[in-house]
Amino acid sequence: LGATLIRSEVQDIGVESDGSDPKAKSVILDNGSEIFADSIVLATGVRGADFPSIPGRFSPSIRGIKGQILRLEANESTVSPTYVVRGIVQARPIYVVPRPSGELVVGATVEEKSEDLSPNAGGVENLLHDAFMLVPGLREATLKEIGVGFRPGTRDNAPYIGKSGIESLYYAFGHFRHGIMQAPITGQIISSYITGKTLPEVAIISDPLRDGIV
């Protein structure tokens, strides 16, 4: 479709004002190069709009919510599911996702007020306990990996998808733990804004300006 993929860290967003309303004009990479564009979409996860040239009043609050997942490997002694299994154990949601490779993904913890990306024993214990309660046959599986990351959460846990308050700059972040599931509607909303098409009705729920950031 004529797209060019550039792998690089983004240092800043080029914003000009000249005494009038601010307008985004470019993306500045960590090597100092500048990419100019008519429209810029920030799909930046927990970083949100935290860039030097974006005034604070245009930067909605994003909090990082720690999550841990486990990757297990089935063996000959493992009795594992062939489809996704979900449940709730002691008020904790738990899921087990089998992969064609024989790997099983178990998740996921939700830990507020944590800035540490190290796995902790309590979270791993809860995941294993809950997974065994849901699928007892997993006790014989091999624990291959513990994954830890931050999910981007907003004040009301609804994402920010739409106009930023800065001309030509759009936000698409804050999806919490539903980023993959909300990817299609996110793309539809953003493309509708940029092309001037009618917005889906659900766009009002994710309007970045709903918090009165401008």
pLDDT tens, residue by residue, 88-102:
999 999 999 999 998
The enclosing domain of 15 has a CATH number of: 3.50.50.60
Structure tokens at 49: 């709009």
The verdict on 43 and 78 lying in the same domain is no
Residue 213 pLDDT: 59
Number of structural domains found in the chain: 2
The verdict on 159 and 192 lying in the same domain is yes
The verdict on 95 and 142 lying in the same domain is yes
The verdict on 120 and 141 lying in the same domain is yes
135 in helix, strand or coil?
coil
The verdict on 168 and 146 lying in the same domain is no
**Which among 55-59, 116-120, 128-132 has the top mean pLDDT?**
128-132
112: containing domain: 64-151
The verdict on 79 and 135 lying in the same domain is yes
C-alpha span between 168 and 22 (Å, rounded): 9
Backbone phi, psi, residue 157, to 5°: 65, 15
Q: For residue 83, tell me if it sits in a domain.
A: yes
Whole-prediction pTM: 0.88
Which pLDDT band, with edges at 50, 70 and 90, does 65 fall under?
A: very high
Nearest to 148 by CA among 126, 123, 172: 123
